[in-house]
Amino acid sequence: MNAPVSPHLANQRDAFWMPFTPMRSFQREPMLFDRAEGMHYITPEGHRVLDGMAGLWCVNAGHGQPRVVEAIREAAGRLDFVSSFKMSHPAAQAYATRLCDFAPEGIDHVFFVNSGSEAVDTALKIARAYHHARGDAGRTKLIGRAKGYHGMGFGGLSVAGIGRHKIGFGPLLPDTAHLPLPYDRATMAFSQGQPEAGAGIVDGLEALLLVHDPATIAAVIVEPVTGSGGVYPPPRGYLERLRAFCDKHGILLIFDEVITGFGRLGTPFAAQAYGVTPDLMSCAKGMTNGAVPMGGVLVAGHVFDAFMNGPPEAIELFHGYTYSAHPLACAAGLAMLDVFAEDNLLGHLGSLLPFWESRAHALKGHPHVLDIRTAGLLCAIDLDPRAGAAGARGSACARLCHESDVLVRSSGDTIVLSPPLIISPEEIETIFASIEMALSRID
Ligand X SMILES: Cc1ncc(COP(=O)(O)O)c(C=O)c1O
Residues that bind ligand X (CB under 6 A): 115-117, 120, 149-151, 223, 227-228, 256, 258-259, 284
CB of 55 to ligand X, least distance (A): 11
CB of 298 to ligand X, least distance (A): 14
Q: Quick one: 285 or 359, whose CB is closer to ligand X?
A: 285
Residue type, 387: A
Q: Quick one: 120 or 133, whose CB is closer to ligand X?
A: 120
CB of 118 to ligand X, least distance (A): 7
Q: Which residue is closest to ligand X by CB?
A: 116
292 within 8 A of 55, measured Cβ to Cβ: no
Task: Name the strands in the sheet holding 40-42, side by side, starting at the edge strand that comes first in the sequence.
Answer: 35-37, 40-42, 48-51, 406-407
Q: Quick one: 231 or 259, whose CB is closer to ligand X?
A: 259
Residue type, 253: L
Q: Quick one: 326 or 361, whose CB is closer to ligand X?
A: 326
Torsion angle, CA of 99/101/104/107, rounded to 10 degrees? 70
Cβ-proximal residues to 401 (8 Å cutoff; 6+ apart), any chain: 52, 407, 408, 434, 435, 437, 438
Helix or strand or coil: residue 218?
strand
Q: Quick one: 19 or 174, whose CB is closer to ligand X?
A: 19
33 within 8 A of 317, measured Cβ to Cβ: no
Q: Quick one: 374 or 411, whose CB is closer to ligand X?
A: 411
CB of 416 to ligand X, least distance (A): 11
CB of 40 to ligand X, least distance (A): 22
Q: What's the half-sphere exposure (Cβ side, CA atoms, 13 Å) at 352?
A: 26
CB of 311 to ligand X, least distance (A): 35
422 within 8 A of 430, measured Cβ to Cβ: no
Gyration radius (Cα) of the chain, Å: 22
